[in-house]
Amino acid sequence: MGTPLRLHDYHRSSTSYRVRIALNLKQLDHEIVPVNLLAREQQGEAFRVLNPLGGVPVLEADGAPHPQSMAILEWLDERFPERPLLPAGIEDRFAARELAMAIATQLHAPLNPPVLEYLKLELGHAQADVDIWYWHWLERTLTGVEARLAARGAGDFLFDAPGYFECVLVPQLYNARRFAFDLEPYPHMVRIEAACLTDPAFVAAHPDKRPDAHQG
């Protein structure tokens, strides 16, 4: 390995949590550089050199910044092929990407804090409207992903062991629980989450494990 891996992240950011799990599953040594989103450090000049879009995570590696969590997961598998996150067969890789992308693009993206802030502060929507928006995307996307898992007869994981999909699922369910969303209608996802949370790679990546967790 060249330069050490350095992850700029925020403990409660679900996109950061995805990458922490991936680094742990792949057993890659890394350094964590906390970025305090509440203090808006992501908008500072120093951070914008790493990611002009201003979001975490950013993985500094091989002398370059790598923003965008899904691109980072793919990069990690290409750069460090041992302990792959994605399965071997093309159809299985498709299934992992399909379900992970559904969560990343049709659930995380519309619920990201800058989107919610824009609805409220720029477009003038009341908090009640923003809450309706939030629950709508959670229910709509989780229902679709749950149906796909049921159709596949998924067990404790999408495949034999946790990987790409679980890196994305577990942080999103952590968020859903934080916002008191009822997960009872989604038994496949809840079972996969429970199995993952017994795995040391997931335990070590959990936001509450972080020394900066007290920041809120």
- Footprint of ligand GSH on 19-38 (CB under 6 A): 37
Q: Which DSSP helix (H) or strand (E) runs through 94?
A: helix 90-103
- Footprint of ligand GSH on 138-157 (CB under 6 A): none
Q: What are phi and psi of 212, to 5 degrees?
A: -90, 10
Cβ at position 100, least distance to ligand GSH in Å? 11
**Burial of 191 per CB tally in 10 Å (0-12, 13-18, 19+):** middle
- In this chain, which of 21, 28, 56, 196 binds ligand GSH, going by CB under 6 A? 56
Cβ at position 113, least distance to ligand GSH in Å? 6
Closer CB to ligand GSH, 77 or 154, in the complex = 77
- In this chain, which of 70, 86, 102, 196 binds ligand GSH, going by CB under 6 A? 70
Closer CB to ligand GSH, 57 or 87, in the complex = 57
- In this chain, which of 7, 11, 13, 22 binds ligand GSH, going by CB under 6 A? 13
SS (H, E, C) 116-182: HHHHHHHCCCCHHHHHHHHHHHHHHHHHHHHHHHHHHCCCCCCCCCCCHHHHHHHHHHHHHHHCCCC
Q: Are strands 5-9 and 58-61 parallel, antiparallel or unpaired?
A: antiparallel
- Residues in the site for ligand GSH, rule: CB under 6 A? 13-15, 37, 42, 54-57, 68-70, 112-114
